[in-house]
Amino acid sequence: MVPLSGITILDLTHVLAGPFASQTLQDLGARIIKVERPGTGDDTRAFPPFVQGESAYFATLNAGKQSIALDLKAEGDRAIFERLLARSDVLIENFRPGVMARLGYGWETLHARQPGLIYAAVSGFGQTGPDADKPAYDMVVQARGGVMSITGESNGPPVRVGASIGDIVAGMYLTQGILAALFQRERTGEGAFIDVAMLDSQLAIQEHAVAIASATGVPPGRTGARHPTITPFATYRAEDGFIVIAAGNDAMFARLCTVLGLTIAEDSRFASNAARCDNHALLKRLIETVTLGAPMAHWIQVLEAAGLPTARVQDMGEVLRDPQILARNMVLPVAPHPGGPAFVATGNPIKMSTLPEVRGLPPAPRLDGDRAAILEWLDKPD
């Protein structure tokens, strides 16, 4: 039996944070019933790139889920939705605070009717606080949460992190909250209300920035690829591209100096991590004087032989062909609908002895494509 076998998730979310969470829960064995807007569905159905008119973005985030289109202001659809609620373990939504309550489906109302239901809400700023009602997207919370202030080169403008971490991290925290609530319900029989804010989640992942700002009173700035408190821990130019070298302690730094033929391990400017951080620019020049003389493949081989953490800076095409990634089943085909396009999605990074590895994923649902099957299921005895 897979970990979440028998758990039904009623998923009212769209775009990224909520669908990312429900996709993770599905990877762990839950059944996901995606409730979408009639006519248009999830916004990401209209996001490029498209293959034969279908969104690759939507397909990779919703493979294997079921879809039913419901207008929660229409009497007939509300009746279906309430039957779905009665058969569900978890409700996930990412509307602005108060929207579900105005529809008659707020936490207090549903908890009184169905005490075991877990209600999980993810939003830009959370359910409380002076800005709870403000709209937010990934870039907004990356900016307000401080991530953009430390991302980019020191002499350049703030830069958004390339992955949508404002949404994705919130989705991760939402998943954790749901799993904890399911565990708690096993002991108490009571559901719980989970409130995850994208902004809160951005603060929670900035370990060094919080430490520096709170301890010194000076907020850290942008440092490019360089780690602000460990040196050498950055990208370095090779003859044909960039590699990462992460020498996280004095012993590793000494080995790095030996590999590179640099006689500076005992130099007072570099003998401790604090000194190396103070002199990071000079140290980078000294290292690159050597690394520019040979290609990336040479340095990866030499550095790995010395037990030093290193990697090429790969583009996504290279990542999707990486033997280690492929060996871990992290690139999976998404089965096409008859006559439809095939897509590729990421695999499940959570490897468990009780969770069989999959070699492919079911197709993403057509909008309202599972209505008949869902209604048939509702007609069966619980």
Per-residue DSSP letter, 224: T
For residue 351, is it within any domain?
yes
117 and 198 assigned to the same domain: yes
295 and 341 assigned to the same domain: no
For residue 144, is it within any domain?
yes
Nearest-angstrom CA–CA distance, 212 and 214: 6
Out of 313, 339, 368, pick the residue that ends a domain: 313
Dihedral sign for Cα atoms in the order 341, 344, 345, 347: positive
For residue 181, is it within any domain?
yes
91 and 176 assigned to the same domain: yes
Q: Helices in the chain by DSSP H: which ranges?
A: 17-27, 56-62, 75-86, 99-102, 107-113, 138-144, 165-188, 198-204, 207-216, 250-260, 273-278, 280-291, 296-305, 316-319, 323-327, 371-379
Stretch 101-120: mean pLDDT: 97
pLDDT at 260: 97
Stretch 92-102: mean pLDDT: 96
The pairing of strands 331-334 and 343-346 is: antiparallel
CA atoms within 13 A on the CB side of 69: 11
Stretch 123-134: mean pLDDT: 96
Query: Where residue 381 falls among pLDDT bands split at 50, 70, 90?
Result: confident
For residue 334, is it within any domain?
yes
User: Which CATH number does the domain housing residue 302 bear?
Assistant: 3.30.1540.10
299 and 328 assigned to the same domain: no
334 and 374 assigned to the same domain: yes
Stretch 203-217: mean pLDDT: 94
Query: Where residue 124 falls among pLDDT bands split at 50, 70, 90?
Result: very high
172 and 241 assigned to the same domain: no
pLDDT tens profile 41-86: 999 999 999 999 999 999 999 999 999 999 999 999 999 999 999 9
Per-residue CA distances from 178 to 25, 58, 98, 175 (Å) = 9, 23, 20, 5
For residue 63, is it within any domain?
yes
Cβ atoms of residues 25 and 175 within 8 Å: yes
Predicted confidence (pLDDT) at residue 382 exceeds the cutoff of 80:
no
138 and 190 assigned to the same domain: yes
Out of 292, 313, 334, pick the residue that ends a domain: 313
Predicted confidence (pLDDT) at residue 310 exceeds the cutoff of 90:
yes
Indicate the number of domains in the chain: 2
Per-residue CA distances from 98 to 94, 104, 124, 199, 248 (Å) = 11, 10, 13, 18, 47
Stretch 211-227: mean pLDDT: 92
For residue 212, is it within any domain?
no
For residue 147, is it within any domain?
yes
Nearest-angstrom CA–CA distance, 181 and 121: 13
| Domain assignment of residue 365, given as a range | 8-205+324-379
176 and 307 assigned to the same domain: no
174 and 239 assigned to the same domain: no
Rounded to 10 deg, the angle between the 17-27 and 165-188 helix axes is 50
User: Which CATH number does the domain housing residue 154 bear?
Assistant: 3.40.50.10540
Per-position DSSP letters for 295-323, written without gaps between them:
-HHHHHHHHHHTT--EEE---HHHHTT-H
298 and 372 assigned to the same domain: no
How far is CA 268 from its chain centroid?
41
Residue type, 237: R
Nearest-angstrom CA–CA distance, 246 and 288: 14
Out of 294, 313, 332, pick the residue that ends a domain: 313
Nearest-angstrom CA–CA distance, 44 and 343: 15
Per-position DSSP letters for 227-279, written without gaps between them:
-SSSSSEEEEEETTEEEEEE--SHHHHHHHHHHHT---TT-TTTSSHHHHHHT
Q: What percent of the chain has pLDDT over 90?
A: 96
Per-residue CA distances from 241 to 53, 163, 236, 288, 294 (Å) = 36, 22, 9, 12, 10
Backbone angles phi and psi of 353, in degrees to 5: -65, -25
Kindly list the catalytic residues.
227
Query: Where residue 326 falls among pLDDT bands split at 50, 70, 90?
Result: very high
Mean pLDDT estimate for the chain: 95
Predicted confidence (pLDDT) at residue 229 exceeds the cutoff of 80:
yes
Predicted confidence (pLDDT) at residue 1 exceeds the cutoff of 90:
no
302 and 332 assigned to the same domain: no
For residue 117, is it within any domain?
yes
pLDDT tens profile 243-278: 999 999 999 999 999 999 999 999 999 999 999 999
257 and 370 assigned to the same domain: no
